[in-house]
Amino acid sequence: MINVAFTGILMGILALLLVIAAVVDIRTFTISNKLNLAVALLAPLYWYAAQFTFGQIVLMVAAAVVVFLLFAATFYAGLMGGGDVKLAAALALWFPPYATIKMLVLMSVAGGVLTLGIVAWHRFKNRPGKPEIPYGVAIASGGLVILAQRFLNQFA
């Protein structure tokens, strides 16, 4: 029973960190390394509390590496910030590969809607230059939906 409570606490902390990341990204267009490090370093505690097997942990770490490499390519192409890349990879440490894929799909949809909205607003206001997109909002949204599903599935 203690693992269930501890798992819930860790999921709550992660949810809070994701909300903080989204709010700070909206305000400053940055996601701090400290926040990303906290997300990454809490994952092993979650693995322990949720009683993941060594094989499952290896798959989650491998998925996080793949997410990091894919998102790093978008960073080098100038399409995404470094904090966004690190947050997505750190978040992938929390979920099995199938949930990480779901998170990436949700993140992409949220990011597309966010981008369309910001670009439309940018054009409506006739602002010069290229609009900035706080993609941490989309990353947090995808992660929060997966977390909510995991939390609610405990009661099913």
- The boundaries of the domain holding residue 92 are 2-153
Note the pLDDT tens digit of each residue in 2-36. 588 899 999 999 999 999 999 999 999 999 999 99
pLDDT along the chain (156 residues), means of 10: 82 98 97 98 96 97 98 95 97 97 97 95 88 95 94 68
The per-residue pLDDT for 154 is 65
The per-residue pLDDT for 130 is 87
Does pTM top 0.85 for this prediction? yes
| Local structure of residue 53 (DSSP, 8 states) | -
The per-residue pLDDT for 66 is 98
Q: Which amino acid is at 23?
A: V
The per-residue pLDDT for 77 is 95
Structure tokens belonging to residue 86: 């690190």
Q: What is the C-alpha to C-alpha distance for residues 102 and 94, in angstroms, rounded to an integer?
A: 13
Q: What is the C-alpha to C-alpha distance for residues 36 and 83, in angstroms, rounded to an integer?
A: 7
Buried b (16+ CB within 10 A) or exposed e, 47-82: bebbebeeeebebbeebbeebbeebbeebeeeebbe
Structure tokens belonging to residue 48: 């322990």
The per-residue pLDDT for 47 is 96
Number of domains in the chain: 1
Instruction: Answer for the pair 123, 136: CB distance below 8 angstroms, yes or no.
Output: no
